């Protein structure tokens, strides 16, 4: 009924005021078990000198303690996560079966050919621009060729502009805005700068109005060597082939939509086995700059231009950032 001078709470369990004692499992007692301040923490004790135990049994007992703790915590986390997405089990990462279920449930919504390729065909008669195919998606190359549009008067001594759209295929204005720029504005800049526009980097996702590509990967997390998707690899290879010494400017066109909160972020969290608590969608236009090289004058110039057309997001915090 008493262990180490402490009353037994349950068989094999005593309770110390560990938060005030400073044990490894306690912050205030200095206990090792307290260094993390974790939700669940305890100190194990075995008795290797017992006639009922051996060193091997004690080792196995420590392993059993770790495994039981992990099973409890994982089960608790799963129980605490309500179902927020129709595929998978809350708290458990998706298997290949669930990924296939997601892919099979996707629906075709709009035509890449009619809304993108046909517009690019019309640009082929533009005296200042040329349309270049830089790749195709291997799962359906005939349906999903990849195109860029560049200045015909391309010169190495000019500054070079890159505009990318449709990295997330569901973000319509990224694609259509890039095309509208090509149709209405690009030509007049080609004498001053090299203009390069890749208007629809992820065409499968454009047709299916999805953030992920057909392989359940986010192309906008893959522009890094060794982590490429087909979409990002094709574009990076094409950019490398141009041998541009220094890019003067790159605008990557995106949207934040209500479906981020209703579909895409829930799917992302469900696939990873994580809980999802919702998103705050900014109402208006905003820019994502680089905290290591803010270039605030450049960003402010864009804000000044855009606010003539639409409103700027008024929130003091956007996507969790000040």
Residue 23 is predicted with a pLDDT of: 46
Query: pLDDT averaged over consecutive 10-residue blocks of the chain (322 residues)?
Result: 62 63 48 62 80 88 85 65 87 94 96 98 95 97 98 94 95 96 95 95 97 94 88 95 93 92 93 86 88 87 93 70 46
Q: Output Rg (C-alpha) for the chain, integer angstroms.
A: 28
Burial of 206 (0-12, 13-18, 19+ CB in 10 A): buried
Strands 6-10 and 2-3, by their bridges, are antiparallel
What burial class does residue 143 get, using C-beta atoms within 10 Å of its C-beta: 0-12 exposed, 13-18 middle, 19+ buried? middle
Using CA atoms in the order 201, 205, 210, 212, what is the torsion angle rounded to 10 degrees?
-70
Rounded Cα distance, 195 and 200, in Å: 16
Q: What is the pTM of this model?
A: 0.75
CB 228 within 8 A of CB 215: no
């Amino acid at each position: 009924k008493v262990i180490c001078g402490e009353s037994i709470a349950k068989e094999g369990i005593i309770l110390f005021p560990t938060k005030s004692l400073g044990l490894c499992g306690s912050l205030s007692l200095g206990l090792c078990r307290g260094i993390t301040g974790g939700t669940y923490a305890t100190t194990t004790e075995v008795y290797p000198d017992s006639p009922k135990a051996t060193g091997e049994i004690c080792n196995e007992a420590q392993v059993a303690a770790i495994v039981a703790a992990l099973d409890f915590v994982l089960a608790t986390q799963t129980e605490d996560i309500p179902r927020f997405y129709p595929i998978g089990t809350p708290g458990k990462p998706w298997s290949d079966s669930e990924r296939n279920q997601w892919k099979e449930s996707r629906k075709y919504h709009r035509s890449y050919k009619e809304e993108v390729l046909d517009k690019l065909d019309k640009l082929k008669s533009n005296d200042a621009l040329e349309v270049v195919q830089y790749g195709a998606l291997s799962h359906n190359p005939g349906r999903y060729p990849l195109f860029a549009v560049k200045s015909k008067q391309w010169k190495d001594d000019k500054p070079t502009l890159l505009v990318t759209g449709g990295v997330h295929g569901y973000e319509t204005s990224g694609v259509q805005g890039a095309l509208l720029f090509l149709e209405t504005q690009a030509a007049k800049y080609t004498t001053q700068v090299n203009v390069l526009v890749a208007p629809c980097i992820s065409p499968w996702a454009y047709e299916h109005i999805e953030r992920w590509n057909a392989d359940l990967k986010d192309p906008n997390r893959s522009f890094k060597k060794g982590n490429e998707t087909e979409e990002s690899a094709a574009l990076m290879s094409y950019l490398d082939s141009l041998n541009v010494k220094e890019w003067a400017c790159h605008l990557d066109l995106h949207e934040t939509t209500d479906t981020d909160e209703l579909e895409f972020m829930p799917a992302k969290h469900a696939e990873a086995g994580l809980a999802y608590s919702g998103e705050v969608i900014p109402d208006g236009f905003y820019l994502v700059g680089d905290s290591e090289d803010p270039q605030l004058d450049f960003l402010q110039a864009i804000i000044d231009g855009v606010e003539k057309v639409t409103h700027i997001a008024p929130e003091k915090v956007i996507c969790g950032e000040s």
